[in-house]
Amino acid sequence: MTPTLANYLIASGLLFSVGLAGVLLRRSIIIIYMSLELMLSAANLSLVAFSRYGLVSGHQNFDAQVLVFFIITVAAAEVAVGLAIIVSLFRARQTTHVEDLDTLKF
């Protein structure tokens, strides 16, 4: 059985939901960060799927696949910055639990 666009999109949706659930429910900021990456990957997956199945006048359109490369590149750069922030946050507060990081409330 060949997978259809719908199968890919369901997989992407599941992946996104898992990521969102992780962001909303987990306490450790590292895990939250990983879940964010998961959501990003879900978006990438749906992009690739649309690219694979969306034909423009009978030909394949690779624009979305090129976009995915850009996203991966930007995500890598973002991880570098994000992790650095988390490290310095840990150094300052000795914790990675988000419940403890509530200084910005009124």
Partner 1 sequence: MHLSTVAWITLLAPLVAASLILLVTRTNRLAASGLAILAALVALAGGWTLFLKHAEGVFHGFNWIDFGKDFSIPFAVALDPLSCTMLVVVTTISPLVFIYSIGYMREEEGYWRFFAGLALFLFSMLGIVLAANLVMMFIFWELVGVSSYILIGHYYGKDSAADAAKQAFLVNRIGDFGFMLGILLFWVATGTFDFTGVNGSAELFKAHPTMLAVACVLIFCGTVGKSAQFPLHVWLPNSMEGPTPVSSLLHAATMVAAGVYLLARIFPILSVSPDASEIVAWTGAITALGAGILATQQDDIKGILAYSTISQLGYMVTGAGLAISAALPMFHLFTHAFFKCLLFLTAGSVIVAMHHEQNIWEMGGLRKKMPVTFVTYLCGMLALSGCYFFSGHYSKDLIMACAWEHHRGIFWFVVVAAALTPFYMTRQALVVFFGKPRSEHAEHAHESPLVMIVPLILLAIPAVCAGYAPVEQYFFHAVGSLAEPEVPHFVDLVFGAAFFIGILGAIVIYRGAPAKDPVRIPAFHNRFYIDDFYFWIVRVIQGGFAKLCSFVDRWFIDGLLVRGSATVVWTIGFALRFLQLGNIQAYALFFAAGVVGLLYLLLTIR
Contact in structure between 46 and 9 (CB atoms under 8 Å): yes
Nearer to partner 1, 75 or 89 (CB): 89
Q: Which stretch binds partner 1 (CB under 8 A): 44-52, 53-61, 80-88, 97-105?
A: 97-105
Query: 70 or 106, CB closer to partner 1?
Result: 106
List binders of partner 1 among 57-86 (CB under 8 A). none
Measured in whole angstroms, the distance separating CA 76 from the mean position of its chain's CA atoms is 11
In the chain, the amino acid numbered 79 is V
Q: Measured from the CB of residue 25, what is the shortest distance to partner 1 in angstroms?
A: 8
Rounded CA separation 32/96 (Å): 10
